[in-house]
């Protein structure tokens, strides 16, 4: 898909073995596709992918996909899951689960000793995974009982494309198969011992929905927990890593970010307000969104359920798949400016949508320079807007800010800032580094005796 970035056409048609796929590479056209949700179904894609993603059996797959040849309606489990998942993740409903997440981060940060060394991506990945599983699944979650499941989970994530193919996964996706089996075993025990009773309300209601819809087998329920865990762990950990890397690799930016946080979000020595990080630290937020633009160019897809004319111009045929290609849109110089392929920390300083840069890379003020609101694709859009975006923003800003304020980090053991990103992998999640980044930690002098507290 990266090759599509050099072309200027707003939409492409790719012939596939199973039909045709339309690739949308223009933000205005992406917005038009999002508005045509009545004839372009995101849920149908979810229903098709989910059973393959987690290895559901035929019975579970039939329940998720619904009757063959029929469009999903309001009685489908996928449709019903929206209210179960979306409502508890709304911004005004996540205070309690956010506090658990931030408290867990605080406990992990307190264990970081002056002079310690670790691989940064693995450290952040483990921190986010352990915290998220505890916050959502409760103190008896399987990852807390068996910490090795964190690595098993990521082995599955790394090989989930091959696993989804279903072609001898135990051979061609060996680590992924072993990883998901270990995690499913842990989730199965969690369900059978009613660990969900101590979980976030979303997980309790989701477990009940599965039972109500006929998914009774505890192993099948356990497999579906892998899909939810994927959503709350993968992108947040990757974005935090790249964000921390970008800030610490730029001393001038690091100084500006520290001053902004200190002036606007530190309520008392060692006390960070994540709400103030979100509302009163525009440069920190700009860095977060620019990080997502570069490293998280989400691709969202929809199934065309009826012949549809989009933008009064393009006829999209029933049965085809429409792909809103974040990579092509995020790397479009006509949208973002001539520096679209490099990191510009000020790109989102004046607008959440972003601004088109000048020829010299400066970011001008004023609405005339704001990019189209559908150009930023990292959280999807329309009916496929990520329901967990508010929680993700909270944890990314919180963890990045406490690392920035509390520590000095420098590369160690011959590694360097800005490791290459894996741009070749199918872009279903944030890109991962292809090289190690080991860092040496020094506690900043003014915070040597501080135990950090992060408030939602």
Binding-site entries for heme: 386
Which of 5, 22, 31 lies closest to 311, judged by CA? 31
Name the phi and psi angles at 316, rounded to 5: -105, 125
84 and 209 Cβ atoms separated by less than 8 Å: yes
Give Cα 125 to chain centroid, integer Å: 12
Helices (H), 13-147: 27-35, 42-54, 58-65, 77-86, 95-110, 120-137, 142-145
239 and 395 Cβ atoms separated by less than 8 Å: no
Distance CA 16, CA 415 (A): 42
- CB proximity list for 372: less than 8 A, separation 6 or greater: 27, 28, 31, 335, 353
Distance CA 180, CA 169 (A): 11
Task: Strands of 210-298 (E only): list them.
Answer: 266-268, 271-273
**Pairing of β 438-443 and β 407-411:** antiparallel
Burial, 152: exposed, middle or buried (Cβ in 10 Å; 0-12, 13-18, 19+)?
A: buried
Supply 43's token pair.
Answer: 């849920």
Supply 376's token pair.
Answer: 């930023």
**Pairing of β 321-325 and β 19-24:** parallel
Binding residues: 386
Supply 211's token pair.
Answer: 């039972």
Tokens 């061609």 locate to: 172
120 and 245 Cβ atoms separated by less than 8 Å: yes
Distance CA 258, CA 250 (A): 12
Cα 348 to Cα 44, 142, 195, 255, 303: the distances in Å are 33, 39, 42, 18, 32
322 strand-pairing partners: 22, 302
Burial, 354: exposed, middle or buried (Cβ in 10 Å; 0-12, 13-18, 19+)?
A: buried
Helices (H) and strands (E) in the chain, counts: 19, 13
When computed from its CA atoms, the radius of gyration of the chain, rounded to whole angstroms, is 22
299 strand-pairing partners: 325
């Amino acid at each position: 898909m990266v090759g599509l970035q050099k072309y200027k056409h707003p939409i492409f048609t790719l012939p596939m073995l199973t039909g045709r796929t339309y690739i949308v590479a223009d933000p205005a056209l992406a917005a038009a596709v999002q508005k045509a949700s009545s004839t372009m179904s995101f849920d149908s894609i979810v229903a098709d992918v989910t059973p393959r993603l987690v290895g559901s059996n035929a019975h579970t797959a039939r329940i998720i996909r619904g009757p063959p040849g029929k469009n999903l309606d309001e009685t489908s489990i996928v449709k019903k899951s929206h209210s179960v998942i979306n409502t508890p993740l709304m911004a005004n409903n996540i205070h309690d689960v956010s506090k658990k997440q931030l408290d867990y981060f605080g406990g992990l940060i307190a264990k970081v000793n002056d002079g310690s060394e670790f691989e940064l991506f693995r450290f952040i990945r483990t921190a986010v995974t352990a915290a998220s599983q505890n916050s959502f699944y409760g103190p008896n979650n399987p990852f807390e009982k068996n910490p090795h499941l964190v690595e098993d989970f990521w082995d599955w994530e790394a090989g989930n494309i091959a696993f989804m193919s279903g072609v001898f996964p135990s051979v061609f996706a060996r680590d992924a198969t072993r990883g998901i089996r270990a995690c499913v075993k842990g989730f199965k025990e969690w369900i059978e011992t009613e660990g969900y009773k101590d979980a976030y309300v979303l997980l309790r209601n989701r477990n009940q929905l599965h039972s109500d819809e006929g998914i009774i087998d505890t192993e099948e329920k356990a497999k579906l927990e892998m899909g939810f865990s994927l959503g709350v762990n993968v992108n947040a950990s990757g974005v935090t890593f790249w964000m921390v890397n970008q800030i610490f690799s730029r001393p001038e930016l690091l100084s500006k970010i520290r001053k902004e946080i200190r002036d606007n979000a530190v309520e008392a020595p060692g006390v960070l307000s994540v709400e103030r990080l979100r509302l009163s630290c525009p440069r920190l937020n700009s860095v977060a969104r620019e990080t997502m633009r570069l490293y998280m160019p989400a691709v969202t897809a929809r199934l065309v359920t009826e012949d549809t004319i989009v933008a009064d111009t393009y006829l999209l045929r029933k049965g085809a798949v429409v792909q809103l290609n974040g990579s092509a849109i995020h790397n479009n110089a006509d949208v973002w400016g001539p520096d679209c392929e490099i990191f510009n920390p000020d790109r989102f300083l004046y607008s959440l949508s972003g601004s088109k840069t000048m020829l010299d890379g400066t970011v001008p003020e004023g609405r005339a320079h704001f990019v189209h609101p559908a150009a930023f694709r990292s959280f999807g859009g329309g009916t496929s807007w990520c329901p967990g975006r508010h929680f993700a923003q909270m944890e990314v800003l919180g963890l990045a800010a406490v690392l920035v304020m509390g520590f000095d980090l420098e590369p160690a053991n011959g590694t360097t800032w800005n490791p290459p990103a894996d741009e070749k992998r199918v872009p279903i999640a944030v890109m991962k580094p292809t090289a190690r980044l080991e860092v040496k930690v020094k506690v900043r002098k003014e915070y040597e005796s501080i135990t950090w507290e992060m408030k939602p």
